[in-house]
Structure 1
């Protein structure tokens, strides 16, 4: 009996709001936004779905969701986005592409989310992309630097956030060509789209310079360790080690490198595994001088102690997710990406999925509190890369210390 009564009530609400039910029960707008889909968003709320490896070989990235949740709760306390509270629904894919697709279908078809904010990892994001595109569901600021998210004009519903692996590779290549001409580089990389993307981008970036790649070794995410790969790379006699790994394996590689007394390369660790927690797990005395490239502020660094954005971040983390480590760069990443998503919601020309797609692809020098000075978000026709600048940093003491200038990889 209740279901019979609710149906006309629902229809009345939709009519009064200028909406109607479309195919598959989607809410379709009328008026100036006629035909656009508004499922998952009301004048009071917006439901957003995220997919993360809360378990499995890449579970170190689970903390990204903590930063996201803290920012959304911070916004909700302040009244939401244009009066809409953000409901954040998180699913676990265990870093398995097939499961990521299953969870995406669950979020869209069962939970009726407005948008997918972040799928984490290149394989999982790729598995979800076709489904999201067919359903017209925005896949916003995915947590992977794969170059394809910004360069692929055939999938306008999906967009990245962090600098692409191509941009990151260019930063390392330029640094070596300038500071270590003739460098011989050994590369450890994850044997999937993530690892191969950065490796091939680095290979292209050093072409025409005196920097050479003398050895490469891959690992699988199911491998127990990378100690064997490190031993093989050490035998190459390289004087630079480029560590293209996720946190678990990056830590293993750092530890194996430190244990070798007859090999002392400059160790470059890619940004996705450069959280201070990863290096501290190895032992700070063993990782001094390691280099990375980043784009975020370190909330524990003294130079940001009085920064308003950092102070807001630390207070919100303590209030909303006290169990999180606020110095984790993965947590900072989640917060920054969530803030960027809020900026997109604020800029929607219509409160619809189409409005999100338009807003995320027309950003102009948008400032985010936890990004380094000089780094902003910009997208536009033919440019699906929100962030294209980075700054090198060296691990000194217990933290990353930036050096040099911000490098804009577009020039």
Structure 2
């Protein structure tokens, strides 16, 4: 063979060898917490303490990622989920977040629970450029990309909830007197602001309010004081434990105002049943997720899939606890983000994909509600539906309400 042909055949052989390699073999990008085989995800949840009812969020996430791993993982990578107890204590949250980032080297912090704990770790995570993704709290501060580009919420924020309640009150009880009970933290202040902003010129309808500390063992004294105001509407923005206490105390005092309950405390299992289902009859709240206990969803494919998931991966979980539906829907959103990341599992790309969701349909969201985000919009869900408890289950009350607030940095 003439020597002049050797370079040509060598080139062909090299091209054939390269073609046999994966197209993206040289394009994989990883930050700490990601490899060819693994994605490490960190989480904080109150498995103990005054908000331990929310510990189910961490348990649900762990169960969901077991399912993902059983099905082959995400783009071939298995999830290592590391969840620590912060007891709903900000100092403990800081300690555990540092451990996850500095010792465990997780890729992100996902679905950490509660406004106080997340507020305590927000600056640390943003300074380290670690995603604080889909925070399990309705506070408006999780939608402030100008100041905290590494933090994003998920569910409708508290200000949106307050505005929705104000709209309903103005339409149906324009001459009412309102008493409010709220937790003394950023979330509680957001809710108060949303209600006041929604009432606008009629904010004087609020005749009494009382804030409480999470450390208080009971809120009975607050309820008694608010009853003396003569209000005929009671708005309760409290944790599940305090919400159950409030509903029971209203019954004991024979105070029968129209009650608006925080959307985070609508669980039949952990709130309404302990408070007494009869005592909870007529309470108004809001929803953006399907209630699998509602016969309306008995033939719904997403509800059937959720039931199958619960039966196999969280068999001791209470299906009446709506928080399990919430955790399932959020996990599906993260799954979508990670799939879109492909082989670019950098923290920067995770936030880029999370901030580029357009009309994403997530299992268990109510019809018409979709996930939408952008580089300037860190509020994935801004629609909800008011609901009323009939003594057995929650029933829809009217059409979907858009409670858009806008960037937290502009409010």
Specify which of 251, 266, 281 is matched with residue 274 of structure 1. 266
Residue of structure 2 equivalent to 1:14? none
Q: Give me the whole-angstrom Cα distance separating, in 2, the residues matched to 1:208 and 1:347.
A: 46
What's the CA shift string for 1:212-268, capped at 9, x where partnerless? 11100111111111111001100111110000100110110010111222x210011
Residue of structure 1 equivalent to 2:256? 264
Report the alpha carbon displacement of residue 321 of structure 1 after superposing the two structures with TM.
1.4
Q: Give me the whole-angstrom Cα distance separating, in 2, the residues matched to 1:80 and 1:272.
A: 30
Pairs within 5 Å for 1:162-181: 162-181=155-174
Q: Give me the whole-angstrom Cα distance separating, in 1, the residues matched to 2:375 and 2:36.
A: 30
What's the CA shift string for 1:136-166, capped at 9, x where partnerless? 1111000011111113421111100110111
What's the CA shift string for 1:277-320, capped at 9, x where partnerless? 21011111111000101111111111111111111111111111
Unaligned residue ranges in structure 2 (runs of 5+): 1-20, 406-411
What's the CA shift string for 1:178-224, capped at 9, x where partnerless? 11112211000111122122112211211124771110011111111
Q: Give the secondary-structure state (helix, strand or coil) at the position aligned to 1:347.
A: helix
Q: Does the Cα contact within 8 Å between 2:359 and 2:371 map onto a contact in 1?
A: yes
Q: Give me the whole-angstrom Cα distance separating, in 1, the residues matched to 2:308 and 2:76.
A: 22
Q: Does 1:360 align with 2:354?
A: yes
Specify which of 104, 107, 110 is matched with residue 117 of structure 1. 110
What's the CA shift string for 1:107-129, capped at 9, x where partnerless? 11111111111221111111111
Q: Does the Cα contact within 8 Å between 2:196 and 2:203 map onto a contact in 1?
A: no
RMSD: 1.8
Q: Give me the whole-angstrom Cα distance separating, in 2, the residues matched to 1:229 and 1:31.
A: 62
Residue of structure 1 equivalent to 2:399? 405
Residue of structure 2 equivalent to 1:309? 302
Q: Give the secondary-structure state (helix, strand or coil) at the position aligned to 2:179.
A: strand
Specify which of 142, 145, 154 is matched with residue 147 of structure 2. 154
Specify which of 288, 293, 305 is matched with residue 281 of structure 2. 288
Q: Does 1:371 align with 2:365?
A: yes
Residue of structure 1 equivalent to 2:378? 384
Report the alpha carbon displacement of residue 333 of structure 1 after superposing the two structures with TM.
1.3
Q: Does the Cα contact within 8 Å between 2:145 and 2:375 map onto a contact in 1?
A: no
Pairs within 5 Å for 1:95-110: 95-110=88-103
Q: Does the Cα contact within 8 Å between 2:40 and 2:80 map onto a contact in 1?
A: yes
Q: Does the Cα contact within 8 Å between 1:70 and 1:335 map onto a contact in 2?
A: no
Specify which of 335, 339, 344 is matched with residue 346 of structure 1. 339
Q: Does the Cα contact within 8 Å between 1:258 and 1:287 map onto a contact in 2?
A: no
Residue of structure 2 equivalent to 1:22? none
Q: Does the Cα contact within 8 Å between 2:140 and 2:159 map onto a contact in 1?
A: yes
Under a length normalisation based on structure 1, what TM-score does the superposition of the two structures give?
A: 0.89
Pairs within 5 Å for 1:7-406: 37-209=30-202, 212-261=205-254, 263-277=255-269, 278-348=271-341, 350-406=344-400
Q: Give me the whole-angstrom Cα distance separating, in 1, the residues matched to 2:217 and 2:293.
A: 32
Unaligned residue ranges in structure 1 (runs of 5+): 1-16, 18-28
Q: Does the Cα contact within 8 Å between 2:235 and 2:261 map onto a contact in 1?
A: yes
Q: Does the Cα contact within 8 Å between 1:67 and 1:332 map onto a contact in 2?
A: no
Q: Does the Cα contact within 8 Å between 2:140 and 2:187 map onto a contact in 1?
A: no
Q: Give the secondary-structure state (helix, strand or coil) at the position aligned to 2:381.
A: coil
Change in Cα spacing, 1:225 to 1:354, as seen in structure 2 (3 Å) is: same
Report the alpha carbon displacement of residue 345 of structure 1 after superposing the two structures with TM.
0.6
Change in Cα spacing, 1:217 to 1:199, as seen in structure 2 (3 Å) is: same
Q: Give me the whole-angstrom Cα distance separating, in 1, the residues matched to 2:202 and 2:66.
A: 48
Q: Give the secondary-structure state (helix, strand or coil) at the position aligned to 1:142.
A: coil
Q: Which moved more, 1:268-277 or 1:200-209?
A: 200-209
Q: Give me the whole-angstrom Cα distance separating, in 2, the residues matched to 1:171 and 1:31.
A: 50
Under a length normalisation based on structure 2, what TM-score does the superposition of the two structures give?
A: 0.89
